[in-house]
Structure 1
Amino acid sequence: MNKLPGIFFALTVLCQIQAQTTEKDLIHTTIDSWHIAAGEAKFENYFGLLTEDAIFIGTDAAEVWNKTEFMTFSKPYFDQGKAWDFKAIQRNIYLDPSGNVAWFDELLATWMQLCRGSGVLKKENGKWKIAHYVLSLTIPNEEIDPVIALKKERDSTYVKGLIKQ
């Protein structure tokens, strides 16, 4: 019996797994480098890892910025040498079959305590860049009622403003 087709199939699968692992390593490195650049207040390095059409969504409902807006908001922090210092403590990465798009979620140790980041990366000219990032506070389920009470008035006013638009 010819075992060559089975061996070929197994090698193909192993190569695909290896390629995914390598891509995931590159993605981890990109996201880690992005966080490190903020912690070291390296403005050009930080924003160089974003696509030109990148979107950053912060923890405040009003914080939805394109790259230029986010650069303007962030510049004073980087200039003071005190940007933010987020450290990933857990991360999941998922790859599109095309190998050109990835998405991830991560838990972060931050000055706000535990946060969650999630985002999308695109491969541009052979390099991974962050195209979309969302930063969220994590709130234990048993603590949600006081948080809702804290946010209620401000959120209500904000929603009314959005409805008027």
Structure 2
Amino acid sequence: MKSIILILMVLGPFASLAQPPIETINQFMDNWHKAAATADEKVFFGSMTEDGVYLGTDKTEKWTRDEMAEWANEYFQKESAWSFTPTERDIYFSEDGKTAWLNEKLDTWMGVCKGTAVLVLKENGWKIALYDLSVTIDNDKIDNFLELTNNDD
């Protein structure tokens, strides 16, 4: 009996979950990326909070969930909207277990990208409140990159 109490104390808010929280988040994020790859608009945007924000790679891209859904509608009418495959992911949790944040490395058509997310635990499961996608640039190529972008506003 003592060991069960100790396990519940260690797991805290995660004690009632069917699988460990890191596995839950990994599966949730993998499903979210798969939804884009298979053009499943309902799962992709349904995985975000109503006030969720998506920051894209373009300096002008700051979308609310609904704005992004409108913009991306034409992409989700195809077999695949876009395909980002996670190759690494680090996940962290707040003390109360109701907020998670992560960073991930992604294999994409743009090369290696990084994603950062903030997730909140709702009554119906985890939801993405913020996702920030960024293109990576090797340090030895940054001067060339800056030269390309110096004339941009």
Q: Give the TM-score, by structure 2 length.
A: 0.89
Q: Which residue type is aligned with residue 42 of structure 2?
A: E
State the superposition RMSD in angstroms: 2.3
Helix, strand or coil at the partner of 2:35: helix
The alignment covers a number of residue pairs equal to 151
1:12 CA drift (Å): 5.0
Aligned mates of 2:43, 2:64 — CA distance in 1: 17
Percentage of identical aligned residues:
35
- 1:97 and 2:95 equivalent? yes
**1:112-161: CA deviations, max 9, x gaps?**
0100000100111140011100000111111110011111111xx2xxxx
The DSSP-based 3-state class of the residue aligned with 2:44 is helix
Other-structure match for 2:67: 69
Equivalent position of 2:117 in the other structure: 119
Q: Which residue of 2 aligns with 1:162?
A: none
| Structure 2 letter corresponding to 1:144 | I
Instruction: Tell me the equivalent position of 2:132.
Output: 134
Write the distance in 2 (CA, Å) between the matches of 1:134 and 1:15. 29
Structure 1: 4+ residue segments shifted above 3 A: 7-16, 18-21
For structure 2, the residue ranges without an aligned partner over 5 or more in a row are none
Shift of 1:14: 5.0
**Other structure's SS at 2:137 match:** coil
Question: Residue 81 of structure 1: CA displacement?
Answer: 2.5
1:146 pairs with one of 144, 147, 153: 144
Question: Would the alpha carbon gap of residues 8 and 83 (structure 1) be closer, same or farther in structure 2, given more than 3 Å must change?
Answer: closer
Alignment CA distance shift 1:15-1:99 (3 Å): closer
Amino acid at match of 1:100: K
Give 1:36's aligned amino acid. Answer: K
**Matched residue SS, 1:153:** coil
Report the residue type matching 2:31 in the other structure.
Answer: S
1:44 aligned onto 2:32: no
Taking the aligned partners of 1:8 and 1:127, their CA distance within structure 2 comes to 25
Question: Which protein has the larger Cα radius of gyration, Structure 1 or Structure 2?
Answer: 1
Distance 1:126 1:100 in 2: 12
CA distance in 1, matches of 2:5, 2:73: 52
- Sort the Cα spacing of 1:11 and 1:76 in 2 relative to 1 into closer, same or farther, 3 A: closer
Q: TM-score scaled by structure 1?
A: 0.83
Alpha carbons of 1:11 and 1:46: their partners in 2 closer, same or farther (altered >3 Å)? closer
Which structure dedicates a bigger proportion of its chain to helix? 1
